[in-house]
A and B are shown apart, each in its own frame.
Chain A
């Protein structure tokens, strides 16, 4: 395990593209999460002009709801996550375009080890993202919550764990596409296309099946937060994490890793 991590880290430690993209990802994540409140206030204020209804002040950064709010934004399938998936795709397709996977295997790496090495990097990226969310959440929470208890702070922290899981499954999906298509352009195109297409595909499925499409299943882990604003508009959303969604996501994770292994195992490199 350590040996594989050592090998993978050597491959990326001085790889400029990796650091530029990773830096971009973390930076945009922090900036957007930090300016969410201002963004929301802006919308609320501008709507107040036309309406006479008193809209209560909504704070996104209050413990414990902050964990739900931040993880919801960070795990949106149309935002930051995509950068992370592109990083994973590039790291894996590089091995095929440089044919270094060939040299790795010839030199004595097994295909399973190759897969695990990539998974370790994926886990590292997920841990990094979760850590950023933890730190950002704690900072924003302390700045914006008056009087808090440990109970409040850690109240909804399970959303962080679920966020980690959802990212892990999502990046396994990206890994699978990369191993299947082997070319960065193709794989990134495929990922984006599928991301756009899935909601459309979903329509052609019966309602209960549509929610089991991969991206949908992952996104179902963290539902839209049930803010006071939503309650005001009479909409109720799921505020808890459903066990069945967790199971569905984990099953998808295993499927993607297994399919990747099958492709590696039975195709020539």
Chain B
């Protein structure tokens, strides 16, 4: 498979802060790629580097298998953090400047303005736009001239719930046309709902890279609780068909082997004299996985 974006051992520090730390990952054609991590984990810095506005300290990256440069950037549509436009110009004039830079025709401007529902306000000054409208103009700018890759850094920032839903739908629709999408977000829910692949960042490090479905389809976790939590925990610890076990508040969480299920557990505990007052399957969401990965990294 051909990598659209390939990042190798990228590092960048700001003073004492190591914003990106020997980061490597690849984005393949057609992916909806999520860059997930808490605030300050280095998502924007990483994207800033591959978009040519921040110079990396060490490491390399390449777009479409070629070294980076302004020519390749013309094939990418991107918003980085907050939208950046000339406040004294109208929305449409701002987009014309972007079209001139990208060397494409103005015909496309009306289309992208309609997509983000800003067409009737296109002649108003950018400075008079609301936060949500500014964000939507940013997205329109990124969509301009049908880029091969779309990079959206926290695209739902400042949008109302309807706007957020619209953007998610839009992302999925654009991806259907074969456009590769890179979505940076600190919202697990957002990545889970839209992305096919994910790289989880923490302190600029790659904590996990993989398929979103693969994470979700892993063996479910089981919650068990009992009046005597210690006895329950000890009993479960001795059970052989368990992959992992940990305590969470008044529950014990276990991950079973593939050939075992919650009925077996119930039977086992009953035979060991443990009375269970709660037993249920917990579908493992990306969020829990995410937290777990981060917890491991802090050990």
Whether chains A and B associate is yes
Task: Given A10-B96, A107-B101, A108-B71, decide whether A102 and B55 contact each other with a Cβ distance below 8 A.
Answer: no
B contact residues vs A (CB 8 Å cutoff):
48, 51-55, 69-71, 73-74, 76, 78, 80, 82-89, 93, 96-98, 100-103, 141
Q: Which one of A11-19, A65-73, A157-165, A177-185 contacts B?
A: A11-19
CB of B102 within 8 A of CB of A108, answer yes
CB of A268 within 8 A of CB of B53, answer yes
Q: Which residue of the partner chain A has the closest CB to B52?
A: A105
A residues within 8 A CB of B55? 266, 268
A residues within 8 A CB of B101? 7, 104, 107-109
CB of B74 within 8 A of CB of A10, answer no
CB of A16 within 8 A of CB of B71, answer no
Checking A94, A99, A108 against B70 with a beta-carbon cut-off of 8 angstroms, the contacting residue is A108
Checking A10, A103, A266 against B85 with a beta-carbon cut-off of 8 angstroms, the contacting residue is A103
CB of B69 within 8 A of CB of A110, answer yes
Residue among B51, B52, B74, B78 with the highest chain A CB neighbour number at 10 A: B52
B residues within 8 A CB of A99? 82, 84
CB of A103 within 8 A of CB of B100, answer no
Interface residue tally on A, bucketed by range: 20 to 34
B residues within 8 A CB of A109? 70, 101
CB of B80 within 8 A of CB of A102, answer yes
Judged by a CB distance under 8 angstroms, whether A37 is at the interface is no
Chosen A-B contacts, 8 in total, with CB atoms closer than 8 Å, are A103-B83, A105-B51, A106-B51, A106-B80, A108-B70, A108-B102, A109-B101, A268-B55
B residues within 8 A CB of A98? 84-87
B285: shortest Cβ distance to chain A, in Å? 33
A residues within 8 A CB of B88? 14-16
A residues within 8 A CB of B80? 102-103, 106
- Specify the main secondary structure of chain B where it touches its partner: loop
- Specify the main secondary structure of chain A where it touches its partner: helix
Judged by a CB distance under 8 angstroms, whether A113 is at the interface is yes
CB of B86 within 8 A of CB of A105, answer no
In the bound complex, CA of A109 to CA of B70 (Å):
6
Q: Which residue of the partner chain B has the closest CB to A17?
A: B88
CB of A6 within 8 A of CB of B100, answer yes
A residues within 8 A CB of B87? 98
- Going nearest first, the 4 A-B pairs with the smallest beta carbon separation are A108-B74, A110-B70, A103-B84, A99-B84
B residues within 8 A CB of A105? 51-53, 70, 73
B residues within 8 A CB of A47? none
Judged by a CB distance under 8 angstroms, whether A55 is at the interface is no
CB of A268 within 8 A of CB of B54, answer yes
In the bound complex, CA of A3 to CA of B51 (Å):
22
In the bound complex, CA of A10 to CA of B85 (Å):
13
Task: Given A103-B141, A108-B74, decide whether A10 and B97 contact each other with a Cβ distance below 8 A.
Answer: yes
Task: Given A100-B85, A107-B73, decide whether A269 and B103 contact each other with a Cβ distance below 8 A.
Answer: no
Q: Which of A183-241 contact B (CB under 8 A)?
A: none
In the bound complex, CA of A166 to CA of B20 (Å):
46
B220: shortest Cβ distance to chain A, in Å? 42
In the bound complex, CA of A7 to CA of B93 (Å):
10
In the bound complex, CA of A266 to CA of B53 (Å):
10
